[in-house]
Amino acid sequence: MNAKQIVLRDSEIRITLKRMILQIAENHVDKSSLLLLGLNERGSFLAKLIQHGLNEILPNLIVSLEQINVTQEMAKHDYKAENIIIVDDVLNSGKTAFIAAMTCMNNGVSSLETAFLAVREHRSYPISANYVGLSIATTLQDHVLFENENPEDLNVYLQ
């Protein structure tokens, strides 16, 4: 098994998230509301950080947050007329984000974007990232992992 190599340390992740938050704020300054859909636990963790940052920059923007486990659970929600950003830690094959995006699109959302802390360049599903922290060229055997067990010491690893 390959050893883990750090590709983003905590301080770098926090700077990267600030940049992503500013980009999102620029693109949503004229909106009244925004829904962040955090995919699973790690996506939700990042969505909370983004929500906090957006609340500081755009206090008049109503930023809601939902954690979604991409299964049948998504079919229970009605996302009509929402401005949505799907947030996840790593865009790997694209399957999870693709399922979430298709569910949102089938509900007739107003706008749909995606935000990922790290993006692998090998994808099996046709999904793109609107907001990217770090794009990593990997082999098919490589794994990119976001570790957030200690919220004060976040890391992204290549393994």
Q: What is the pLDDT of residues 4-23, one digit of tens each?
A: 899 999 999 999 999 999 99
Structure confidence at residue 50 (pLDDT): 98
Q: Which of 113, 108, 110, 130 is nearest to 32 (CA)?
A: 110
pLDDT at position 74 is 60
Gap between the Cα atoms of 21 and 4, Å rounded: 28
Residue 104: its pLDDT value, please?
A: 85
Give the whole-angstrom CA distance, residue 43 versus residue 33.
Answer: 20
pLDDT of amino acid 92: 86
Mean of the pLDDT values across residues 133-148?
Answer: 88
Flag whether pLDDT at 28 surpasses 70.
yes
How many residues are present in the chain? 159
Higher pLDDT, 138 or 158: 158
Q: Please, are residues 17 and 87 in contact by the beta-carbon 8 Å criterion?
A: no
Strand order in the sheet with 5-8: 5-8, 155-158, 144-147
DSSP letter (8 states) at residue 81: T
From the CA atom positions of the chain, what is the Rg in Å?
A: 15
What's the pTM? 0.90
**What pLDDT score does 69 carry?**
82
Structure confidence at residue 82 as a pLDDT band (50, 70, 90): confident
DSSP state, 4?
Answer: P
What the chain holds in terms of domains, given with CATH numbers, is: 5-149 (3.40.50.2020)
* Among 20-24, 40-44, 47-51, the least confident range: 40-44
